[in-house]
A = this chain, B = another copy of it.
Amino acid sequence: MAKIPPVKGTRDFYPELMAQRNWITDGWRAVSCRNGFVEYDGPIFEHLQLFTQKSGPGIASELFSLTDRGGRDLAIRPEMTPTLARMVNQQINALPRPIKWFSMPRCCRAERPQKGRLREFFQWNADIIGSDSVLADAECIYTALDYLRSVGLTAEDVEAKISSRSMLAALLVDAGFAEDELDPLYQLLDKKPKLPAEAFNEMVEQQVPDAAQRENIMRLQAVRSLDELDSLAQSDAAKESLAELRELFALLGTMGVADYCRFDISIVRGLAYYTGPVFEIFDKSAALRAVGAGGRYDNLLAGLGGQKVSGTGFGMGDVVLGILLEEKGLLRSANTTLDYFVVDAGPELFTQALELVCQLRQQGFAAGFDYRRTNIGKQMKQAASQGAREVLILGQETIDKNEITIKDMAQGTQKTMQLEDFMAEIEQR
């Protein structure tokens, strides 16, 4: 029979890699919970239409689609937002607001694997729905940064670049653009940081034939601080959005993450549904794709058949994050250590050894033993190969005196004590 390889762009989580993945997701969960988010999840596949209705039919080619026995078109989720919107819409009148949810879904995209992009990945999502307060936006940005800070990334390593879609909209309208020109403009401006200046300028010339209009865009894109915007923000809408953005930065200051945050007008987010503050988090060397990104969306739920309820949230994938943490020497693993390995000096002691193993397990300790009834030396080797922290040795002489020998595998030290005292001691651990 032939050996069949894994599918390209997927990962096999052997125990070592799995422990790293668990360490990342454990951290996401802990930080979500302490910031008051509760966990949810949806199915791994949805009706294809849910994804095309949100993102347009063009998305279909980026999806892993399938057909069920009833001939229905389905697709594996490429992101969590459509499922979130569907679930919230289904229960909108029953859910107490604000809805403050997080999830860590496995998602799949049928794209060519490359650095930072795989065909299967995990993406932390945190969203607050049903509050239009800028406090909710601050909470989301804070939560993303709280995680990154908790794993040891400093303001020297990562930065949240923050702007506002509503402010950009107001400034563009003030500059003479029509409402229906805005969506294509967002998509254009979203490409700016990803393109060489020349290529970008060429695209602007094509999309905005009027030179004065182009000038307005370039002047906006050249803005480097909120203060520079004071003179540009003329309309009430622009002033209001600017004030909101200032408040957002003030709140992030109060929350203790100001040094991670910077205003950057080039942050636009390509998707049509963003309507307020938007942000992207990058490593400061800017060598990688965004570590996380999000923003406020007022039209997402209504766009998927629901009421007009405002929300704000973000996503953070495990792939770019993992590369960044590895580069910085910060990637850790969830604990998988065997606490105790029980060794016996002879087959006549094995029943006692097995009973001790089960007692330890009932106390909540990870405990093992050798499946081969070999000599102590070989059993000790097995204990080492399984990475046990301590080895408990049952010898005939010691057992006759109700004693047990404990070997610390890291220190190499060994001591003998009353079995009773040992059991009392570990009950305290």
Contact = CB atoms under 8 A, between A and B. Distances in A.
Interface in A1-50: 1-7, 10-15, 18-19, 21-22, 30, 33-36, 38-47, 49-50
B365 A39 contact: no
Interface of A: 1-7, 10-15, 18-19, 21-22, 30, 33-36, 38-47, 49-50, 53, 61, 64-66, 68-69, 72, 74, 76, 86-87, 89-91, 96, 98, 100-101, 106, 108, 110, 120, 128, 131, 133, 135-136, 139, 142, 146, 251, 254-256, 302-306, 336, 338, 351, 354-355, 358, 361, 364-368, 371-372, 385-386
Contacts of A14: 40, 87, 91
Contact of A354 (B1, B30, B86, B254): B254
A68 B354 contact: no
B13 A136 contact: no
Contacts of A101: 15
A51 to B, nearest CB: 10
A333 B355 CA distance: 31
Identify the interface centre among A40, A72, A136, A146: most chain B CB within 10 Å of its CB.
A40
Contacts of A106: 44, 106
A305 B11 contact: no
Contacts of A15: 38-40, 101
Contact of A39 (B19, B53, B74, B131): B19
